Structure 1
Amino acid sequence: MADTGDNAAQLKAHEQTWNGFKAMMTWGTVGVALVAALVVFLISAK
């Protein structure tokens, strides 16, 4: 690809994408942990 000289805008877009991905992974991990804890609780309650 040709260098268009717009590296600052590309870096900002990359940072926004990475921050969105990190937030999604963080909340996804929290959600999975909560569901797993609920399942363990429901299984152990019997």
Structure 2
Amino acid sequence: MSAYEEGSMDISEHQRTWNGFVKLVQWGIISCVALLVFMAIFLV
């Protein structure tokens, strides 16, 4: 077993996954806001 080296892990895949998650959340929030705006315009 090799010795532990702090900060030696490759986190590129983790960063790519996190960035995808953040992008998905942003699109979800934008979609919800757009839906509420359209409902306020057309249903009231």
TM-score bracket for the superposition, by shorter chain length: 0.7 to 0.9
Runs (4+) of structure 1 exceeding 6 A deviation are none
TM (norm. structure 1) is 0.70
The share of aligned pairs that are identical, in percent, is 21
TM (norm. structure 2) is 0.72
Indicate the structure with greater helix content.
Answer: 1
Question: Which runs of 5 or more residues in structure 1 are unaligned?
Answer: none
CA RMSD of aligned residues (A): 1.7
Question: Which runs of 5 or more residues in structure 2 are unaligned?
Answer: none
